[in-house]
């Protein structure tokens, strides 16, 4: 293929991210063009409703409602899929790749559901698929894993990957406010979607964890194969209890690999983190990712995990790499399909193999002997108690019992909780949180 003088981009989607790309590409274009030695032009834009009012006005003459036509347009070199969803987005992505184009995507749900098919299609047709904006917004974590840390195997990657949850948890902790009222406030401010389930139940973070696990270990782990727990059962009391124990609470994605047994664990759950650690102090809508490599040690990345500007920054970085590939035959990094991670013998550990310390909050009848009965169930399952805090409950006949354990297996912990919940003196479902003794 001859080197193009002008790189033509098709934007499929002109919502929050699409408008951000348009706006910031205008600012960055001249510098990019002089570095590339070629022009850059947004050639066509696909939207669902061209008459919709937008902060950025749609440029006349470039609009269509046919995203598939943009994907197949022979004049277009780079297709940015910024629509979301997994149906039309998949069709658009595969169509563009089958035409040998470069696709830039911010769509973590699509990659998580159809990544294997997308990368196989790119390989087969000589296209490329770039997805920096799909995980942790403006933080260049994909490039860090793929290029900067290529010498490493990764025993542990963990982080805050959902800004909505981090905002809600931060507000609950700082304002001593219940989950429901903070969620309402987050919706009012536009930090949470009208249907918040994807975020607060942990699925959005699970999609991102799936992508990171694949990049780091070459294995696709679907959210349904992971332990995925959200933040809806956390109360202001949990923050107070955690603080008494020297911890904060964050919703974390945790990806661990035992380098000896090659067992991989990918999970998303609220986690108690030592309050002095950097990640425990990343607040509001910010994301943080800690990556421990066997060669480099631990590296830490913090920044805005979503929003128009941060996401546009990541999309434009992929556009720049795509343009460099087209003009010079190589990107500023290893974008080619043949450099995708190899399977390297990792296998997924069953969730019961998780091993950590636990925080358990029980609401119990305020009677003598309750702690002894709970302790006896724990002992029967070989769970060793590390600390106990008892505080008054919401009414004077109940008390809150908070126990932390020494390191235990998830299987034994689950069995313990089942038996504890059956005790006549325990009211309601126990709340279980995992303790991450990570100090970075």
Helix (H) or strand (E) segment spanning residue 131: none
**What is the C-alpha separation between 434 and 440, in angstroms, rounded?**
17
Residues 6 or more apart from 183 whose CB is under 8 A from it?
A: 168, 192, 196, 200
> CB of 317 within 8 A of CB of 139?
no
Catalytic residue among 101, 108, 208, 250: 208
Give the one residue of 13, 202, 230, 303 binding ligand NAP; rule: CB under 6 A: 13
Q: Given candidates 7, 103, 106, 349, which one binds ligand NAP under the rule CB under 6 A?
A: 106
Q: Does 223 bind ligand NAP (CB under 6 A)?
A: no
Closest to ligand NAP by CB, 25 vs 348, is 25
H helix and E strand count, the chain: 13, 18
Number of residues near ligand NAP (by CB under 6 A): 24
Beta bridge partners of 434: 271, 358
Helix (H, G, I), strand (E, B) or coil at 179: helix
CB closer to ligand NAP out of 306 and 364: 306
- By beta-carbon proximity to ligand NAP, the closer residue of 106 and 182 is 106
The secondary element (H helix, E strand) that includes residue 144 is none
8 Å CB contact between 318 and 104 = yes
CA distances 75 to 30, 47, 196, 300, 337, Å, are: 21, 19, 39, 41, 23
Which of 307, 331, 430, 436 contacts ligand NAP by CB under 6 A?
307
Residue nearest to ligand NAP (CB): 15
Is residue 149 involved in binding ligand NAP (CB under 6 A)? no
436 binds ligand NAP (CB under 6 A): no
Q: Indicate whether 16 belongs to the interface with ligand NAP (CB under 6 A).
A: yes
Q: Does 289 bind ligand NAP (CB under 6 A)?
A: no
Longest dimension (CA), the chain: 83
> Would residue 307 be called left, alpha or beta, if left means φ above 0 and alpha means ψ between -120 and 50 degrees?
left
Among candidates 117, 167, 116, 157, which has minimal Cα distance to 135?
157
Indicate the residue among 50 and 126 with the shorter CB distance to ligand NAP: 50
In which residue are the tokens 């358990």 written? 360
Nearer to ligand NAP, 70 or 264 (CB): 70
Q: Is 208 a catalytic residue?
A: yes
**Residues 115-134 vs ligand NAP: string with x where CB under 6 A?**
------------------x-
Q: Which of 8, 10, 14, 374 binds ligand NAP (CB under 6 A)?
A: 14
Q: Does 84 bind ligand NAP (CB under 6 A)?
A: yes
- In the shown chain, the binding pattern of residues 38 to 67 toward ligand NAP, with x for contact by CB under 6 A and - for none, equals --------xxxx--x------------x-x
List the catalytic residues.
208
């Amino acid at each position: 293929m001859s080197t193009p003088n002008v790189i033509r981009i098709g934007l499929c989607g002109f919502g929050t991210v699409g408008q951000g790309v348009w706006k910031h590409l205008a600012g960055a274009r001249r510098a990019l063009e002089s570095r590339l030695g070629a022009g850059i032009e947004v050639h066509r834009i696909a939207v669902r409703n061209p008459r919709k009012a937008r902060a950025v006005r749609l440029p006349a003459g470039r609009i269509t409602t046919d995203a598939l036509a943009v994907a197949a347009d022979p004049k277009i070199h780079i297709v940015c899929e910024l629509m979301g969803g997994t149906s039309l987005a998949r069709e658009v992505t595969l169509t563009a790749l089958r035409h040998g184009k470069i696709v830039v995507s911010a769509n973590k749900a699509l990659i998580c559901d159809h990544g294997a098919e997308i990368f196989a299609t790119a390989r087969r047709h000589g296209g490329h698929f770039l997805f920096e904006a799909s995980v942790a917004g403006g933080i260049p974590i994909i490039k860090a894993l793929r290029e900067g840390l290529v010498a490493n195997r990764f025993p542990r990657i963990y982080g805050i990957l959902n800004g909505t949850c981090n905002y809600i948890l931060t507000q609950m902790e700082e304002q001593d406010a219940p989950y429901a009222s903070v969620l309402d406030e987050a919706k009012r401010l536009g930090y949470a979607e009208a249907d918040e389930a994807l975020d607060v139940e942990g699925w959005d973070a699970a999609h991102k964890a799936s992508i990171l696990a694949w990049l780091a270990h070459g294995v696709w782990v679907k959210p349904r194969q992971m332990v995925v727990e959200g933040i809806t059962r956390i109360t202001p009391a949990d923050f107070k209890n955690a603080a008494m124990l020297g911890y904060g609470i964050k919703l974390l994605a945790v990806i661990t690999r035992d380098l000896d047994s090659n067992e991989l664990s990918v999970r998303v759950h609220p986690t108690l983190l030592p309050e002095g650690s950097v990640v425990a102090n990343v607040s509001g809508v910010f994301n943080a990712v800690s990556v421990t490599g066997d060669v480099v040690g631990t590296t830490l990345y913090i920044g805005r995990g979503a929003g128009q500007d941060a996401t546009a920054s990541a999309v434009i970085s992929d556009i720049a790499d795509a343009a460099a590939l087209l003009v010079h035959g190589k990107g500023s990094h290893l974008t080619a399909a043949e450099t995708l991670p190899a399977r390297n013998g990792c296998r997924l550990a069953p969730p019961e193999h998780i091993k950590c310390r636990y925080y358990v909050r029980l609401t119990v009848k305020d009677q003598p002997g309750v702690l002894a009965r709970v302790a006896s169930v724990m002992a029967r399952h070989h769970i060793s108690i590390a600390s106990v805090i008892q505080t008054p409950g919401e009414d004077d006949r109940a008390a809150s019992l908070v126990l932390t354990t020494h390191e235990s297996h998830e299987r034994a912990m689950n069995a313990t909780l089942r038996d504890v919940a059956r005790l006549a003196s325990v009211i309601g479902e126990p709340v279980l949180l995992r303790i991450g003794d990570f100090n970075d």
